[in-house]
Structure 1
Amino acid sequence: MVDPRTVRKWSFRGVFLVITALATFFYLLPLQVGSGRWPGPDLILAFAFAWVLRRPDYVPVFLVAIVMLLADFIFLRPPGLWAALSIMGLEFLRSREPTSRDLPFAIEWAMVAGVMLAMAVTYRLCLAIFMVDQTSLGLAILGQLSTILSYPIVIAISHYGLGIAKITPSEADEMRYVR
């Protein structure tokens, strides 16, 4: 008989893959509403960060690395750069998960926003060092701002729609997931 926790963990990993496939599909559609050029949020990164602060075992490093590397290829970004920065940000947040269990949402949101902004600055610096063409700074700031503003919506979808809540201390002791 299979352990129900194992089934739940692997089913949410599958749900994460479905969410990333849907997000990638909608990013690739040639839709433009209005005349403004407000970039959409990076939902793959937002879901990965939200889930790693709620249930770190649902988003393992290898899964996020593969998804982000494929996204680099699909969205014609420098291969591996955004994936590596995403993994560094994800692992930074994963290491903070035990201490962030009791933090209010505003502090969690600020911590995630800080990580996303640090990733964006590092990404632009790496591209500048190697003299790779970049989008305008304003467009990059708007993209990060839309991702940061979409984070509470991602949390609401994860919590109310999918039932992903933060690990309680008793669950962490039961699962032996205390670092």
Structure 2
Amino acid sequence: MANTSPARIWTMRLAFPALALLVMFFHLLPLETEPRFWAPPDLLMLLAMAWSLRRPDFVPALSIGLVMLLADLLFQRPPGLLALLTVLGCGFLKARAAPHRESTFASEWLAVALTVTGISTLNRLVLVLFGVQQAPLGLTVIQAVMTIAAYPLAVWASQSILGVRKLSPAEAETLVSRR
């Protein structure tokens, strides 16, 4: 059973940026000196989406936006674009979180897959529109596919290690009534 106490909510709200900073740290470590022919999944986006669907109260939009903006700056991406698209995507998923409480994991995964595809497509289109140099299309597609494929692992890690589980209808009712 998930804990809906204010202390637990604030602890997890602080755990999200801390975990994101850890992911960014390991992403920036120079472990390989040669360019790769594949792109790894976007773990920050996966973490934000998994938590947005399972416990929307743990990841406010401001937290997601600031984490993704910092990632844009550190990873030398156009500042704010992917942050905005991720906040919008997570907001879309949060709006669908209540219907997914009763649905299967496959429908949740499909919603995330469509959102990741939409974010990748919109990001690519905006960059093309403004003439920004970007990675080859193949790498963008590989990263989107890897991100979608890694979603079950992100959910498993969030659930088993961090305890981020879906709210039961009773817990959701308790959380809503407290606001």
Give the TM-score taking structure 2 as reference length. 0.92
| 1:136 has 2:136 as partner | yes
User: What is the distance in 2 between the residues matched to 1:34 and 1:155?
Assistant: 31
3-state SS of 2:5 partner: helix
User: What is the distance in 1 between the residues matched to 2:36 and 2:68?
Assistant: 27
User: What is the distance in 1 between the residues matched to 2:126 and 2:38?
Assistant: 24
User: What is the distance in 1 between the residues matched to 2:152 and 2:33?
Assistant: 23
AA partner of residue 103 (structure 1): S
CA positional deviation for 1:19: 1.2
State the partner residue of 1:67: 67
User: What is the distance in 2 between the residues matched to 1:12 and 1:114?
Assistant: 26
CA positional deviation for 1:35: 8.0
CA positional deviation for 1:37: 2.3
State the partner residue of 2:10: 10
State the partner residue of 1:96: 96
CA positional deviation for 1:36: 4.9
State the partner residue of 1:127: 127
User: What is the distance in 2 between the residues matched to 1:36 and 1:73?
Assistant: 21
State the partner residue of 1:30: 30
Give the TM-score taking structure 1 as reference length. 0.92
User: What is the distance in 1 between the residues matched to 2:46 and 2:130?
Assistant: 27
In structure 2, the CA distance between the partners of 1:176 and 1:116, relative to structure 1 (3 Å rule), is: same
In structure 2, the CA distance between the partners of 1:29 and 1:54, relative to structure 1 (3 Å rule), is: same
CA positional deviation for 1:34: 9.0
Identity, % of aligned positions: 40
The Cα offsets for residues 42-91 of structure 1, whole Å up to 9 and x where unpaired, read as 11110110011111000001111111111111111111110110011010
Gaps of 5+ in 1: none
User: What is the distance in 1 between the residues matched to 2:52 and 2:121?
Assistant: 22
User: What is the distance in 2 between the residues matched to 1:79 and 1:33?
Assistant: 25
In structure 2, the CA distance between the partners of 1:96 and 1:28, relative to structure 1 (3 Å rule), is: same
Query: Considering only aligned residues, what root-mean-square deviation do their CA atoms show, in Å?
Result: 1.6
User: What is the distance in 2 between the residues matched to 1:81 and 1:164?
Assistant: 28
AA partner of residue 140 (structure 1): T
User: What is the distance in 2 between the residues matched to 1:33 and 1:39?
Assistant: 15
Q: How does 1:94-173 map to 2 (within 5 A)?
A: 94-173=94-173
The Cα offsets for residues 23-45 of structure 1, whole Å up to 9 and x where unpaired, read as 10111111239985221111111
State the partner residue of 2:21: 21
